[in-house]
Amino acid sequence: MAIDYAFNCVILRVEQMSGKRVNSIKIKLSEQCLSLFDEDNKLLHQYPVSTSKYGAGNENGSKKTPLGLHRIKDKLGGAMPVNEVFIGRVPHGDLNECKARNVDLPDDVIMSRIMWLEGMEPGRNKGGYVDTYQRYIYIHGTNHEESIGTASSIGCIRMCNQDVVELFRLVEPGSEVLIEE
């Protein structure tokens, strides 16, 4: 196993996964870290992330990262190249191409891959005023890779573009995602 250090989170690159199926993801806001576990609850990978600069919270419009148990409801962008820009979940080309074409880009560009989260706890992160899915909370790549490892997003979980592509390949719709402070 090779070990790389990045930001506040150790990234474990497991060279062989021994055929184990990915079972769950845990995101710790206090560590700005995403951990990936197999079916035996063995740690497979860790990635640095950026969660909301506004902290944790489940309310619609809060721009906070929602807490609790979620699952990956939808995966988008699997056939797209790294650094693909998504606007409204629609691919628009690579970041440099978009800039050259004067595409109107938000400050927080969603890039490379999207794993759209759905809350699994009614009243906490599912339904009504706290629905994670209706808030469009994703795990996604970013144009702000330099801020990975710090709380700097507007609710979503940002990852480095190469990391989100790797994670996308390893997880399936339905994979559980636990987000904790």
- Which residues of the chain have a pLDDT value below 70? 1-22
> What phi, psi does 128 have (nearest 5°)?
55, -135
* pTM, two decimal places: 0.87
Residue 24 to residue 120: CA distance in whole angstroms: 14
Q: What is the pLDDT of residues 102-116, one digit of tens each?
A: 888 888 899 999 999
pLDDT of residue 23: 76
Local structure of 45: helix, strand or coil? strand
Query: Tell me, what amino acid is at 119?
Result: G
pLDDT in tens, 5-21: 343 444 444 434 445 56
CATH class of 2-180: mainly beta
Q: Which residue, 72, 180, 74, 61, is CA-closest to 131? A: 61
Span 68-89, pLDDT tens digits: 999 999 999 998 999 999 999 9
Largest CA distance in the chain: 48
